[in-house]
Amino acid sequence: MDELIKRLRDKLMGADRDGALGATRELLDRGEDPTRILQEGMAAAMLELGARWNRGEVFLPEVVAAAELFKKCSELVEPALLASGQKQEGHRVVMATVKGDLHDLGKNMVGAMMKTAGFEVHDLGKDIPTAAIVEAVRERQPAIVGLSALLTTTVPEQRGVIVALEEAGLRGKVKVMVGGAPVTQEWASEIGADGFAPSAPEAVRVALELLTGVPSGVE
Partner 1 sequence: MAEPSKAGSGWRYGLARFDVLSDEQADAVHEHALRLLEEIGYRVSYTPLLRLLLDEGLDAEGDLVRLDRGFVTEKVALAPANFEVRGRSPDRSVTIGGSNVVLSPTGGQPFVLHPDGVRKPATLEDYRTLIRLTQAADHMHVTSSGIVEPDDLPVASRHMDMDYWAIRLADKPYTPVGATAEAARDCVDLAAVAFDGRDEIERSPVMLAIVNPVSPLQFDERMGGSLMEYSSAGQPVILMPFLLAGATAPLTLAGAVAQATAESLAGVALVQTVRPGTGTVFGAFVSEIDLHGGGPIFGTGGSGLATLTLAQMARRYGLPFRSGGAFTNSRATDERGVQESLMSLWPSMLSGPSFMLHAAGWLEGSLAVSLDKFAQDLDVLDAFEEILSMHLPLDEDAFALDAFREVGPGGTFLGAAHTLRSLKTSTPRPIASNDWKLMLDAYEEPAIDAGLDEDLLRFMAERSGTIERAAG
Q: Which residues bind partner 1 (CB under 8 A)?
A: 53, 56, 59-61, 100, 102-103, 105, 109, 127, 151-153, 156, 181-182, 184, 186, 199-201
The residues near 84 (Cβ < 8 Å, ≥ 6 apart) are 33, 34, 35
User: Reading across the β-sheet that carries 120-123, which strands appear in turn?
Assistant: 120-123, 92-97, 144-148, 175-179, 195-196
> Residue 94 Cβ, how far from partner 1 at the closest point, in Å?
22
**Rounded to whole angstroms, how far apart are CA atoms 54 and 65?**
16
Q: Shortest gap between Cβ of 118 and partner 1 (angstroms)?
A: 20
Give whichever of 103 and 122 is closer to partner 1, judged by the CB atom.
103
- At closest approach, how far in Å is the CB of 154 from partner 1? 9
The minimum distance between CB 64 and partner 1, in angstroms, equals: 8
CB of 155 to partner 1, least distance (A): 8
Closer of 65 and 168 to partner 1 (Cβ): 65
d(C-alpha 127, C-alpha 102), whole Å: 5
Considering the complex, state which of residue 61 and residue 79 has its C-beta at the smaller distance from partner 1: 61
CB atoms within 10 A of CB 71: 14
Report, in Å, the least distance between residue 165 CB and partner 1.
Answer: 20
Q: Which is nearer to partner 1, 112 or 145 (CB)?
A: 112
Cross-strand pairs, 175: 144
Kindly state the DSSP code that residue 146 receives in the 8-state scheme: E
Q: How far apart are alpha carbons 215 and 101 in whole angstroms?
A: 32
DSSP H or E segment with residue 33: none
Q: How far apart are CA 37 and CA 7, in angstroms?
A: 11
Nearer to partner 1, 33 or 48 (CB): 48
Strand partners, 98: 128
Nearer to partner 1, 141 or 199 (CB): 199
Q: Is 112 strand, coil or helix?
A: helix
What is the identity of the amino acid at 124? L
